[in-house]
Amino acid sequence: MWTCHRGAVISPSVVVRRADGADLQQLAAVEAAADELFVPLGITDLPAPATAEERADAWRVLVAGRPVQGLAVLELVDGAVHLEQLAVHPAAMRQGIGGALLAATVAAAREHGADRVTLTTYADVPWNAPWYARHGWRPTEELSPGLQQRRAHERELGLDRHGVRIVMTRTSEEG
């Protein structure tokens, strides 16, 4: 069961909070470590992690752990909350951090008044679309103008050459 307390989503073992300045300095290292999971799949040229300054410009950044073990970067896109990035350090995986970050993302959307949460991901990578589906996200082909722009940017970055990219969504009413 998830409960909210002073902006933090709390699970039995994971607390998710809004990132502060010190947390932002740690995000690139967590993201880079998580990106190493793609290397055995032959995906070795993902874009470099965003800087702390770039992440500070996000609508909201959620983190778990001290030091940071997981992060969720949220943006507002066409009235929805968009999960721009989710990363958990490989040393901290399978401890509920990713699920807690997803629950916090949905809670943030609900609190903001957004009716849905969206994300883009690889369709066939086990810890991407199949994992999100287990957490309530469903593929959609109904793309708002902002999501169309995000997909176009992903194609420009060359992300599609590594596999099928899809957009997924879920309502913020789903807890």
Report, in angstroms and rounded to the nearest whole number, the Rg of the chain calculated over CA atoms: 15
Question: Positive or negative CA dihedral for 148, 153, 154, 158?
Answer: positive
Residue type, position 172, single letter: S
Chunked mean pLDDT (size 10), the chain, 175 residues: 44 85 97 94 90 96 96 97 96 90 95 95 91 94 95 94 94 71
Domain count, the chain: 1
CA distances to 77, 80, 142, 158 from 146, in Å? 6, 10, 11, 19
- For residue 69, the enclosing domain spans 3-171
Closest alpha carbon to 70 in 111, 29, 106: 29
CATH number of the domain within which 96 lies: 3.40.630.30
pLDDT value, residue 174: 59
pTM of the predicted model as reported, rounded to 2 decimal places? 0.90
